[in-house]
Amino acid sequence: MKNVEIAPAKGKLGILLVGLGAVSTTTIAGVLAIRKGLAKPIGSLTQMGTIRLGKRTEGRSPKIKDTVPLADLDNIVFGGWDIFAENSYEAARTAGVLESSLLDKIKPELEAIKPMSAVFDQRYVKRLDGPNVKKGKNKMDLAQQLRADIRNFKKDNGLDRLVMVWCGSTEVFMKESAAHQSIEAFEKALEANDPAIPSSMVYTYAALMEEVPYANGAPNLSVDIPAMMALAQQQKMPVVGKDFKTGQTWMKTVIAPGIKARLLGIEGWYSTNILGNRDGEVLDDPESFKSKEVSKLGVLEHILQPHLYPDLYGHMHHVVRINYYPPRGDNKEGWDNIDIFGWMGYPMQIKIDFLCRDSILAAPIVLDLALFMDLAQRCNMSGIQEWLSFYWKSPMTAPGLYPEHDLFIQLMKLKNTLRHLKGEEMITHLGAEYYD
Positions touching ligand NAD (CB under 6 A) are: 18-23, 81-84, 95, 118-120, 125, 128, 130, 167-170, 199, 217-218, 243-244, 246-247, 277-279, 282, 358-359, 361-362
Nearer to ligand NAD, 199 or 410 (CB): 199
Which residue is at the shortest CB distance from ligand NAD? 21
Strands 333-341 and 347-355: antiparallel
Compute the least distance from the CB of residue 120 to ligand NAD, in Å: 4
Compute the least distance from the CB of residue 94 to ligand NAD, in Å: 8
User: Cβ distance 81 to 149 under 8 Å?
Assistant: yes
User: Cβ distance 372 to 388 under 8 Å?
Assistant: yes
- Cα–Cα distance list, 345 to 256, 326, 339 (Å): 18, 41, 11
Q: What is the DSSP string of 293-306?
A: HHHHHHHHHHHH-T
Compute the least distance from the CB of residue 336 to ligand NAD, in Å: 16
Compute the least distance from the CB of residue 335 to ligand NAD, in Å: 16
Buried/exposed 236-250: b ≥16 CB within 10 Å, e otherwise: ebbbbbbbbbbbbbb
Q: How far apart are CA 274 and CA 248, in angstroms?
A: 11
Amino acid symbol at 292: K
Nearer to ligand NAD, 282 or 340 (CB): 282
Nearer to ligand NAD, 18 or 110 (CB): 18
Q: What is the DSSP string of 367-405?
A: HHHHHHHHHHHHTT--EE-GGGGGGBSS---STTPPPP-
Nearer to ligand NAD, 8 or 327 (CB): 327
Compute the least distance from the CB of residue 180 to ligand NAD, in Å: 18
Nearer to ligand NAD, 278 or 378 (CB): 278
Nearer to ligand NAD, 172 or 418 (CB): 172
Q: In this structure, what are the phi and psi dihedrals at residue 20, rounded to the nearest 5 degrees?
A: -105, 65
Compute the least distance from the CB of residue 175 to ligand NAD, in Å: 19
Q: What is the DSSP string of 88-146?
A: HHHHHHHHT-S-HHHHHHTHHHHHT--PEEBP--TTTSTT---S-B---SSHHHHHHHH
Compute the least distance from the CB of residue 241 to ligand NAD, in Å: 10
Q: What is the largest CA-CA distance in the chain?
A: 72
Nearer to ligand NAD, 70 or 361 (CB): 361
Nearer to ligand NAD, 51 or 282 (CB): 282
Q: In this structure, what are the phi and psi dihedrals at residue 197, rounded to the nearest 5 degrees?
A: -110, 100
Compute the least distance from the CB of residue 78 to ligand NAD, in Å: 14
